[in-house]
Amino acid sequence: MKLTIKQLTISLFCAGLLNSCTFINKTAYSIKAQKEGKETNLFAKLKKKPLRVAEPIFITTAMADKVSFFPFAPTTPPLVFAQVEPLCIDFEPLKSLQDDLTIYAKKFLGTRYLPGGRSKKGFDCTNFTSHLMEHYGYKIPAGCSQANHGEQVSFENVRKGDLLFFGYKSKKGGSYRVSHVAMVVSDEGEDIHFIHAANRGIVIDNLESASWKTYYKSRYLFAKRIIQSGKDETLAMKGNQFVANK
């Protein structure tokens, strides 16, 4: 049976419409799949790192007097507090972060020592402490240069998260060579315990252990504090990274 020009035109139009619907459905499905994939990746990332609550910054009257949310409006009475959303910073209590860091570090107890290692298959000392800090947003390098980061604190005042560096001091004084690093897992004022990737694997030692008395005590150089806090013992984090003291 022969088709008329009108029938042929209608057939071609319907076929084109069907193809268009199929293309739209495939595109919509693809977009949905990508969106679900991104959401899955987002939740996977959140599981790896603790979710920190964002809180606004409030500026006091001295600065607030100069702030106007309606710049062309008539003069308004002085503001007591003004919320500035663009300067929003995340906060986490210092104690909470210290405890989380310590718990996370202890999960690696028994992991073997591996030169250059940076995974559950094995760690060396600086890669271990670098990994722990980076897991909570502090970017510090592995290697001897790690000792250049943070604020130096006295051995008597170390607390959870502080790093202890060991090595060799020059007999002439002044210079030193870092050979090992460990992280404190005890609170300030308590008997000092530290976790580290030693030759026997990742272990916790203290000042009463044989390894401290026979090896580490004589090689202790200094302690550094990477995790800083304000007077209210609250940590500030800009964007996705904590502000580390370099």
Domain range enclosing 206: 92-242
The per-residue pLDDT for 93 is 78
Low-confidence stretches of the chain (pLDDT beneath 50): 39-40, 42-90, 231-246
The per-residue pLDDT for 127 is 97
In a domain, 17, yes or no: no
The per-residue pLDDT for 50 is 41
The per-residue pLDDT for 210 is 96
Query: Count of domains in the chain?
Result: 1
In a domain, 185, yes or no: yes
The per-residue pLDDT for 244 is 38
In a domain, 87, yes or no: no
The per-residue pLDDT for 126 is 97
In a domain, 190, yes or no: yes
The per-residue pLDDT for 218 is 95
Query: What CA–CA distance (Å, rounded) separates 192 from 207?
Result: 7
Query: What CA–CA distance (Å, rounded) separates 21 from 15?
Result: 10
In a domain, 85, yes or no: no
The per-residue pLDDT for 11 is 66
In a domain, 197, yes or no: yes
Of 233, 47, 213, 193, the closest CA to residue 106 belongs to: 193
The CATH code of the domain that includes 218 is 3.90.1720.10
CB atoms closer than 10 angstroms to residue 7: 11
In a domain, 6, yes or no: no
The per-residue pLDDT for 7 is 62
In a domain, 67, yes or no: no
